[in-house]
Amino acid sequence: MLSPAKINLGLEIPYKRPDGFHEIRSVFLRLNWGDDIGIEPIDPGRFELVSENQIILEKRRLYDEVSEKGDLSKNILFKTFTKVRTHYRELPGVRIHLTKKIPPAAGLGGGSTNAASLLSFYFGLGPEFHSDELLRLAAEIGADVPFFLSEGNAFVSGKGEIMREIEVHSGQGILALTPQVLSTAEMYAGLKKPLQADPPSKKWISLREDVEFALKEGNWAALRGKLVNDFEPLAFQKFPELGKLKESLLANGASYSSLTGSGSCIYGLVQGLEIREELLAKMQTEFPDLTFVSFNY
């Protein structure tokens, strides 16, 4: 089954929370591209991972370091298995076959989506594993994991655990799988956001009406300047080629383009299949050393 990637339409970080996390607001968009994962039950207590690493060459080693070829204890699937088993020791072990396509350090939720796939597998095994418990465990594993347990797209706030499903018009886009590595911790530290002890204001827990309307209508050009990623200035300063990539996507036909997450992948949304194919051809010609992926949502 597909373990889908996500992209962020905008990612604002208004302040740092007293608990050490940063407050975020973003639209999470689920793609029809990602990892392929198969899970089967085995004897209780056993965990087996069999990976086929198809990540772009520059980032392939990052996954190998936490796969069965490296330190498996650092793998999010193993961490998820361990956490589930501490609560439900009677559940079976798992053998997981993973075709890994989503690169790490990309802003695409590659680890979180895998964790959600495993939780969904266990969630379907018995009525005692209720959805509230599932969401609690998911949030403990990672802030993005609860999103991947749902089917739709969402406006996300809090530290990532507060979600409101929203309507987004179907569409197409191009994703550039970039080789640059941006440390999430360093990117957040670079924002230098002030500590905020007060409860969040209403403006941080809702979307502007014009933004919601543009999302429903699929008017991606209307999102320019309204949905922004606060990490872009930092990312483009460290790797100017990422900024040039975004500019090229817009110049060659994308209606909206952005860094996703804290980076380093860049995407462009388009108004139709024909435009997407033209954009893909132009980008592959201009950036022959990069890998581009077409996606729908």
* Catalytic residue, candidates 35, 79, 144, 246: 144
Is 244 part of the annotated catalytic residue set?
no
CA distance 237 to 27: 24
* Catalytic residue, candidates 6, 16, 79, 100: 6
CA distance 152 to 148: 9
**Annotated binding-site residue? 103:** yes
**Annotated binding-site residue? 127:** no
**Annotated binding-site residue? 105:** yes
**Annotated binding-site residue? 113:** yes
CA distance 232 to 73: 32
CB < 8 Å & 24+ apart, contacts of 234-243: 234/187, 234/190, 234/191, 235/182, 235/187, 235/259, 235/262, 235/263, 235/264, 238/180, 238/182, 239/180, 239/182, 239/264, 241/180, 242/178, 242/180, 242/266
**Annotated binding-site residue? 106:** yes
**Annotated binding-site residue? 108:** yes
Cis omega before residue 201 (within 30°)? Answer: no
- Residue 141: exposure state from Cβ atoms within 10 A (0-12, 13-18, ≥19): buried
Which amino acid would we find at residue 54? Answer: Q
Is 36 part of the annotated catalytic residue set?
no
The secondary structure of the chain in percent helix, strand, coil, rounded to multiples of 5, reads 35, 25, 35
8-state DSSP, 199: P
- Residue 26: exposure state from Cβ atoms within 10 A (0-12, 13-18, ≥19): buried
Annotated catalytic residues are 6, 144
Annotated binding site: 103-113
Annotated binding site for ATP: 103-113
